[in-house]
Amino acid sequence: MGKYSRNKGAAYERELVQVFREAGYPATRRNLQPQGGQAVGGDIEGLPWAIEAARRSKRLIWSDVVGKKMAQAIRDETHLAATRGRPPRPALVVVRQDGGESLVVLSLADFLTITEEKDAEPSLD
């Protein structure tokens, strides 16, 4: 990965940390992963989810980017959870096209787990 891509990715991760802090997650911080090292979790720490962040230009194929990032998030979180003796957290990919809005991608099963509310009646209003 070139210096420009690394810097762009790091800037996006810092931006996401700020967004999560403003949303009430004060312990949120970037995960400073060693390059080529052992899986140490997602790009952002201090959250109840394993997050991989991706910021891409318009010319890249989104399905490839999201698919690779999701596979990485699941693989890294599964490994980390096993080494720490806990269940894996839901894996999310937060992705933004240059000049666009950030989107969250997750599996349907993880979405249902995250949004589950016990004894709540669904509202159709």
Domain positions in the chain? 3-113
Q: What is the pLDDT of residue 57?
A: 75
pLDDT-based confidence at residue 62 (cuts at 50, 70, 90): low
Contact 93, 73 (CB under 8 A): yes
Q: What is the pLDDT of residue 98?
A: 83
Residue 119 has pLDDT above 60, yes or no: no
Q: What CATH number does domain 3-113 carry, 3.10.450, 3.40.1350, 3.40.1130, 3.30.460?
A: 3.40.1350
Distance CA 125, CA 123 (A): 6
Residue 120 has pLDDT above 70, yes or no: no
For residue 29, the Cα-to-chain-centroid distance in whole angstroms is 12
Return mean pLDDT, the chain. Answer: 81
> Which pTM was predicted?
0.77
